[in-house]
């Protein structure tokens, strides 16, 4: 087995919050560095920024460097070749110095970009904040206006409006800025809609912070990054559009610009081929730098995300413990010395499961208990073979009916998963595809696990739904996930999980997201099904009440290790490990009440 | 005299779709909170308990009934008048992750309500340090961002933010349900301790009867937008009268296999009897 570690992994998207928590520590260090520092470390950003700074500095210094005015023509110099004294890059068809005109064009481009992008940003951000933050009516009207703007054919409109703008490229860019605004508006509005319902915005409102300040402080900070990125791209496109219009000969011929220069070089292509080259090169350099800078900015602001990790594409195994431990014949699942690690940004491995031993006999219910970050979910995911791609199993073995699961390919794991080993998730809703009917999803699952016809599968599913306590199975079968409640969704998933009569059911916090009365019903259902089918159950939970209700045996996990395990009765009666004692001690006493009476508020100002 | 008096509170949300009828989520709820007291509000998801809290906070507008704070009607207050209440009524939300702005340092988050109330930067800074001390966090937390803290620590920060303006009432919306067991206990102890020292009143919203019992003087039980039972915490949580409260009590699993078995049988018997 070879060890495959992706060296620059920053975030891990795993099916559990737990694994995220484990890499958070490393991520914190990475995300705390200010943006400019991150940009400094990115050669692409450093190079493009340097190029842009140099180019636009040349533009600013034009009056000092330029040898000639932009429209100063000398008929004796018509089409002078490069290298002519006083005309380093030659002269054009009117005898104007190409080098000087290039410098002046930089300024034209800069002004065009400033106006176009500036207008787009101001209009787009203000409208986006208003449209996103305020009520339905306001949003509907801004929406309507910007949709209308988007329907205008931009370039054509700019040409048609020439009589209005009088050929002044600055007026043209102003209009172009308005035409670009919907792009910014959309970005801002969507982000604001997301942020608006964040609890910290509510908290600010409760704190008496005014609407304007909330928009400026809490909302704008979130939209800042995406806007800077969009602006970099927009600067490039305004310069390109301005040049394009000038190339077409739209606008004043007096204004030096890349477009006008390319156009004149184009006409002289056969006489003086290099005339066309210089403005094109510089324009290309500027726009390419802007686009690449935009990409660098995106990486810096949003973090160069690793490809979304496909879950379950086989497990990465670092090394295999060859000393196979003999397991009792009745053990259905035996986990031995399991170690799971995640790569940190520095390339080291951060171990989240540090040598776990577990054994489940047939028909037994084992509770794996621990607090968040203890590695309990990771252990369960390893058994299912659905660890995120970045995860590395550094050591250990998982034997299911004597068969080694560690290192099995996804294809080899598939017949086991869903058929022999089934799974119930914590969030039932997110495990149902919202765009398919519940029944179709269940039928698909059943047919993947068992060789039955569609009709048989449907009958089976309907029977199972009824068995799982759903009153009108046919109706639920035809419902979309959003039409059923959370408790119902969990019943549906349980029905799907037990459809193939699995030997082992892994339930990851199966009732945590549910109301307590629904939880009781789901626990009843799980218990009944477990006895009926004689399956073994591995329940991952933090709730000792659930454990007491369901489990034969308990394993307590802390920081990647199992600190204590035993029968439920033993552990509840006489916990031995300090951590178990602490956990059990933290359970709020059923008989404890608040006994102290309300105290009168301290006089004003006495609170400190 | 009570601090907060809610009478016949009704809240409706606009229905989904064009010209859909509004959906009423609270059907006339009345309750009161005295100074220095904790009123526990228990109910399941969809019972409207969070909506009551949001109505008190001015985040949703009631469609009927009155909310009186210190004898003054605050139900429909908007804008400046409502903002004036922010030094009296504060909030601690459930989710310690989304209740703090991820890009603003703890110091700035805590200073925000103080500065809004007119404190100078220097006063605010000093007060922030004493607040952090009060909730048991080191003062170097000021410079750090929320993501550097665990869930329990974030909830302490949220509590510190609520304490900042020295409010008379804090609406606690499931403040401990997202926390680990051991953290949960410590945060609850902190809340009780603060109440004893400052005499702040809590409107404590939770789905967990056990949590509510440990922190509340009085308990109100909500079911589908109606209040079904209210009274002293001891009475409501150990000798409930309403069938729904009974069901709620029996449904919560206890961390004791034998006791849980007994409770399960009792619950099944109760369900069978009512069916």
What's A73's DSSP letter?
B
Report if residue B135 sits inside a domain: no
pLDDT tens digit sequence for B175-223: 888 788 888 888 899 999 999 989 999 999 998 888 898 999 999 999 9
Backbone torsions φ then ψ of A508, nearest 5 degrees: -100, 105
Residue A245, H or E segment = helix A220-247
Q: Which of A282-291, A503-512, A583-592 has the lowest mean pLDDT?
A: A583-592
- For residue B28, give how far its alpha carbon lies from the nearest alpha carbon of chain A (Å): 23
Chain B residue nearest residue A520, CA to CA: B251
Strand ranges, E, within chain B: 4-13, 23-33, 38-42, 64-69, 72-73, 89-92, 169-173, 201-206, 218-223, 226-232
Residue B181: closest CA among chain A residues belongs to which residue? A586
**Type and span of the H or E element at A566:** strand A561-567
Chain B contact for A594 (CB, 8 A cutoff): yes
Task: Choose the closest CB to B181 out of A198, A207, A542.
Answer: A542
Least Cα separation, residue B174 to chain A (angstroms): 13
Q: May I ask the CATH class of domain A418-551?
A: alpha beta
A135 touches chain B (CB under 8 A): no
Rounded Cα distance between B185 and B204, Å, is 15
Which chain A residue's Cα is nearest to B254?
Answer: A545
Adjacency order of strands within the sheet including B169-173: B89-92, B169-173, B201-206, B38-42, B218-223, B226-232
* B253 located within any domain: yes
Higher pLDDT, residue A153 or A222: A153
For A12, phi then psi, to 5°, come to: -120, 120
**Given the structure tokens 């039928």, which residue do they identify?**
A443
Q: Which residues contact B114 (CB under 8 A, 6 or more apart)?
A: B123, B124, B127, B128, B164, B165
**Which residues on adjacent β-strands are paired with residue B29?**
B9
User: Cβ separation of A24 and B147 shorter than 8 Å?
Assistant: yes
Indicate yes or no: CB of B255 within 8 angstroms of CB of A548.
yes
The fold for domain A54-59+110-302 equals: MetI-like fold (1.10.3720)
Contact (CB<8Å) B90/A206: yes
Give pLDDT tens digits for B99-109: 888 888 899 88
Residue A43 confidence (pLDDT) above 70 = yes
DSSP tag of A373: T
Residue keyed to tokens 């016949």 = B8
Q: Is residue B271 part of a domain?
A: yes
Asked whether residue A5 carries a pLDDT value surpassing 80, the answer given is no
Contact B255/A593, CB-based, under 8 Å? no
Verify whether the Cβ–Cβ distance B180 to A218 is below 8 Å: no
Residue A601 has its nearest CB partner, among B148, B168, B237, at: B168
Q: What is the maximum span of chain A, computed from C-alpha positions, in angstroms?
A: 106
Rounded Cα distance between A439 and A296, Å, is 46
In a domain, B264, yes or no: yes
Considering the domain boundaries, does residue B131 fall inside one? Answer: no
What's the sign of the alpha-carbon dihedral A487, A493, A497, A499?
positive
What is the mean pLDDT of the segment spanning A478-483? 88
In angstroms, what separates the C-alpha of A330 from chain B's closest C-alpha?
A: 25
Q: Which domain range does residue B264 map to?
A: 242-275
Against a cut of 0.80, is the pTM above it?
A: no
Distance of CA A519 to the CA centre of its chain: 31
Least confident of A6-20, A120-134, A224-238, A356-370: A6-20
d(C-alpha B164, C-alpha B124), whole Å: 9
Q: Which residues of A, range 240-299, sit inside 8 Å of B by Cβ? A: none
Q: What token pair was written down for B12?
A: 């409706």
Residue B19: CB partners within 8 Å, gap ≥ 6? none
Please tell me the predicted confidence (pLDDT) of residue A124.
92
Average pLDDT over residues A546-553: 91
Does residue B189 lie in a domain region? Answer: no
Domain map (residue ranges) of chain A: 54-59+110-302, 418-551
Q: In the prediction, which pLDDT does A584 show?
A: 87
Place of tokens 């009161």: B32
Give me the number of domains chain B comprises.
1
Residue A78: the pLDDT is 82
Half-sphere exposure of A299 (CA within 13 A, CB side): 17
pLDDT of residue A23: 40
Predicted local distance difference test score (pLDDT) of residue A16 = 36
On chain B, the residues whose CB falls within 8 A of the CB of A511 are none
- Whether residue A296 is predicted with pLDDT greater than 90 in this model: the reply is no
What's the rounded Cα separation, in Å, for the pair A485 and A514? Answer: 10
Q: Which tokens hold the place of A38?
A: 């991150």
**Closest residue in B to A591 (Cα–Cα):** B238
Other CB atoms within a 10 A radius of the CB of residue A327 amount to 16
Instruction: Name the residue among B44, B98, B100 with its Cβ closest to that of A517.
Output: B44
By CA distance, what is A541's nearest residue in B?
B180
Chain segment A195-253, per-residue pLDDT in tens: 888 888 888 888 888 888 888 888 887 788 888 888 988 999 899 988 888 888 877 77
Considering only the beta carbons, identify the residue of B45, B83, B101 that sits closest to A515: B45
């Amino acid at each position: 087995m070879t060890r495959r570690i992706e060296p620059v992994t920053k975030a891990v998207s795993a099916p559990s919050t737990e694994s995220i928590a484990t890499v958070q520590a490393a991520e914190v260090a990475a995300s705390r560095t200010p943006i400019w520092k991150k940009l400094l470390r990115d050669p692409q950003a450093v190079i493009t920024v340097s190029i842009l700074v140099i180019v636009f500095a040349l533009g600013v210094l034009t009056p000092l460097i330029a040898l000639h005015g932009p429209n100063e023509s000398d008929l004796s110099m018509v089409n002078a070749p490069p290298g002519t004294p006083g005309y380093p890059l030659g002269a054009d068809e009117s005898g104007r110095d190409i080098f000087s005109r290039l410098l002046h064009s930089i300024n034209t481009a800069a002004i065009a970009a400033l106006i176009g992008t500036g207008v787009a940003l101001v209009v787009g951000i203000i409208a986006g904040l208003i449209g996103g933050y305020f009520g339905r009516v306001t949003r509907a009207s801004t929406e309507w206006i910007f949709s209308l703007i988007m329907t205008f054919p931009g370039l054509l409109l700019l040409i048609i409006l020439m009589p209005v703008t009088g050929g002044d490229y600055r007026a043209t860019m102003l209009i172009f800025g308005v035409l670009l605004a919907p792009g910014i508006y959309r970005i801002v509005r969507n982000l604001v809609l997301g942020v608006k319902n964040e609890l910290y915005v509510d908290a600010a409102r409760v704190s008496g912070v005014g609407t304007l300040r909330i928009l400026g402080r809490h909302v704008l900070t979130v939209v800042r990054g995406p806007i800077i990125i969009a602006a970099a791209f927009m600067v490039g496109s305004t310069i390109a559009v301005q040049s394009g219009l000038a190339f077409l000969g739209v606008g004043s011929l007096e204004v030096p610009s890349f477009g006008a220069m390319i156009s004149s070089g184009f006409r002289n292509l056969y006489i003086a081929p290099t005339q066309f080259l210089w403005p094109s090169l510089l324009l290309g350099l500027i726009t390419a730098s802007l686009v690449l800078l935009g990409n660098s900015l995106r990486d810096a602001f949003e973090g160069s995300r690793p490809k979304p990790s496909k879950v379950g594409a086989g497990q990465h195994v670092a090394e295999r413990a060859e000393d196979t431990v003999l397991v009792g014949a009745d053990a259905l699942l035996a986990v031995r010395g399991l170690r799971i690690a995640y790569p940190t940004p520095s390339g080291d491995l951060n171990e989240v499961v540090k040598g776990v031993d577990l054994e489940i006999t047939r028909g037994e219910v084992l509770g794996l208990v621990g607090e968040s970050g203890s590695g309990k979910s990771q252990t369960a995911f390893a058994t299912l073979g659905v660890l995120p791609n970045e995860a590395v199993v550094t050591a250990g073995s998982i034997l299911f009916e004597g068969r080694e699961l560690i290192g099995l390919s996804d294809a080899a794991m598939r017949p086991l998963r869903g058929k022999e080993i089934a799974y119930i998730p914590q969030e039932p809703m997110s495990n149902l595809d919202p765009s398919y009917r519940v029944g179709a999803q269940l039928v698909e699952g059943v047919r993947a696990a068992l060789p039955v016809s569609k009709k048989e599968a449907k009958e089976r599913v309907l029977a199972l739904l009824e068995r799982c306590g759903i009153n009108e199975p046919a109706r639920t079968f035809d419902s979309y996930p959003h039409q059923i409640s959370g408790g119902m969704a969990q019943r549906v998933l349980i029905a799907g999980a037990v459809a193939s009569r699995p030997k082992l059911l892994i339930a990851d916090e199966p009732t945590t997201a549910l109301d307590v009365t629904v939880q009781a019903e789901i626990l009843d259902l799980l218990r009944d099904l477990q006895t009926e089918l004689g399956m073994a159950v591995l329940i991952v939970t933090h709730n000792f009440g659930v454990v007491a209700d369901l489990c034969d045996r308990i394993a307590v996990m802390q920081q990647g290790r199992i600190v204590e395990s035993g029968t439920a009765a033993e552990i509840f009666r006489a916990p031995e490990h300090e951590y178990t004692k602490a956990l059990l001690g933290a359970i709020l006493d059923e008989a404890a009440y608040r006994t102290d009476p309300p105290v009168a508020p301290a006089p004003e100002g006495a609170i400190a | 005299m009570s601090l907060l008096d809610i009478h016949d509170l009704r809240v409706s949300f606009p229905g989904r779709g064009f010209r859909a009828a509004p959906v009423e989520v609270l059907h006339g709820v009345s309750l009161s909170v005295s100074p220095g007291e904790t009123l526990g509000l228990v109910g399941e998801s969809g019972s409207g308990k969070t909506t009551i809290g949001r109505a008190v906070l001015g985040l949703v507008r009631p469609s009927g009934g009155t909310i009186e704070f210190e004898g003054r009607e605050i139900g429909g207050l908007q804008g400046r008048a409502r903002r004036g209440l922010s030094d009296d009524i504060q909030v601690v939300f459930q989710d310690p992750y989304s209740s703090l702005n991820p890009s603003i340092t703890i110091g700035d988050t805590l200073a925000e309500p103080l500065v809004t109330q007119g404190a100078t930067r220097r006063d605010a800074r000093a007060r922030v340090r004493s607040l952090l001390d009060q909730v048991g966090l080191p003062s170097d937390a000021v410079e750090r961002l929320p993501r550097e803290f665990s869930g329990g620590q974030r909830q302490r920060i949220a509590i510190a933010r609520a304490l900042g303006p020295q409010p008379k009432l804090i609406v606690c919306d499931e403040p401990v349900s997202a926390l680990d067991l051991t953290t949960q206990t410590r945060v609850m102890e902190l809340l009780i301790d603060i109440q004893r020292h400052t005499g702040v009143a809590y409107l404590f919203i939770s789905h967990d009867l056990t949590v509510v019992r440990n922190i509340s003087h009085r308990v109100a039980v909500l079911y589908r937008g109606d209040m079904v039972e209210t009274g002293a915490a001891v009475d409501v949580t150990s000798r409930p009268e309403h069938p729904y409260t009974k069901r709620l009590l029996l449904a919560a699993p206890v961390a004791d296999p034998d006791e849980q078995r007994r409770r399960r049988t009792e619950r099944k018997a109760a369900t069978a009897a009512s069916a």
